[in-house]
Amino acid sequence: MMFWNALFLKAPGYTADASHSDSWNRGRYLVDGAAHCSTCHTPRGFLMQEKEGDAFTGAQVGPWFAPNITANAVSGIGQWSQQDLVTYLKTGRLAGKAQAAGSMAEAITHSFQHLSDADLAAIAEYMVSVTDKDAPASGASRFEQE
**What dihedral angle (degrees, nearest 10) is formed by the CA atoms of 34, 37, 42, 48?**
40
For the four alpha carbons of 84, 141, 33 and 23, in that order, the dihedral sign comes to negative
Distance CA 66, CA 84 (A): 17
Distance CA 44, CA 55 (A): 10
Using CB under 6 A, list all residues that contact ligand HEC. Answer: 31, 35-37, 39-41, 61, 64, 66-67, 69, 77, 85, 88, 98, 100-104, 107, 112, 123, 127
Work out how close the CB of 140 gets to ligand HEC at its nearest, in angstroms, rounded to a whole number: 19
Q: Which residues of 45-82 are buried (b: 16+ CB within 10 A; e: fewer)?
A: eeeeebeeebbbbbbeeeeeebbbbbbbeebbbbebeb
Compare residues 18 and 111 and give the one whose CB is closer to ligand HEC.
111
Compare residues 17 and 110 and give the one whose CB is closer to ligand HEC.
110
Compare residues 18 and 108 and give the one whose CB is closer to ligand HEC.
108
In terms of Cα–Cα distance, which of 85, 60, 70 is closest to 139?
70
Work out how close the CB of 74 gets to ligand HEC at its nearest, in angstroms, rounded to a whole number: 11
Compare residues 18 and 118 and give the one whose CB is closer to ligand HEC.
118
Compare residues 31 and 121 and give the one whose CB is closer to ligand HEC.
31
Work out how close the CB of 71 gets to ligand HEC at its nearest, in angstroms, rounded to a whole number: 11
Work out how close the CB of 23 gets to ligand HEC at its nearest, in angstroms, rounded to a whole number: 15
Work out how close the CB of 113 gets to ligand HEC at its nearest, in angstroms, rounded to a whole number: 11
